Amino acid sequence: MSMVVRDEGSKVNSNINVTPMVDVMLVLLIIFMVITPMLNNKVNVDLAQTNTATPMDDANKEDSVTVAITRDSKVYLGQNQTSIDQLGSQVHDMLENKTNKIVYFRADARAHYGTVEDAIDAVRTAGVEEVGLLTEQRSNALNMSGTSGE
């Protein structure tokens, strides 16, 4: 009687298939690329739309001082909520060692004008001479549907 020996052990493939791992990594990369720009604007506000918006590239820098005012009159310095009474001293502390002493305001289009004005006054009393009011460029579709000035 003879014995049958199976030789399946020599056929084992020990190579790692990296294609699924690369697919997962590419999906994660795309997700992070989409989410990263959203992290810059930490407080969600709907900016006012204008026809003559001027680009302010310095407002997107990581070390820029940005004050956000939401539609329910909450004031944020960066991503931290603050009061208008404390805003001036906090901005003064942040700008103490900086050469560029511009404060950027991101006010919601439906925010109370008085709150925005009070926040600007608080920053100006802290020694800031230049402020930037951030807006969005109105899209062309809205420009064409408006009434003509003639």
DSSP bridge partners of 103: 65, 131
The model's pLDDT over 49-79, given as tens digits with 9 standing for 90+, comes to 888 888 888 887 877 888 999 999 899 998 8
Distances, alpha carbon 42 to alpha carbons 30, 81, 128, in Å:
20, 11, 23
State the residue for tokens 């997962």: 24
* pLDDT in the model for residue 8: 64
Structure tokens at 70: 């939401």
The single-letter DSSP state of residue 51 is S
Strand ranges, E, within 5-113 = 49-50, 65-69, 75-77, 80-82, 102-107
Residue 5 has pLDDT above 90, yes or no: no
Note the pLDDT tens digit of each residue in 90-144: 998 988 888 778 899 999 989 988 999 999 999 998 888 889 988 888 886 444 4
The class of domain 49-140 in CATH terms is alpha beta
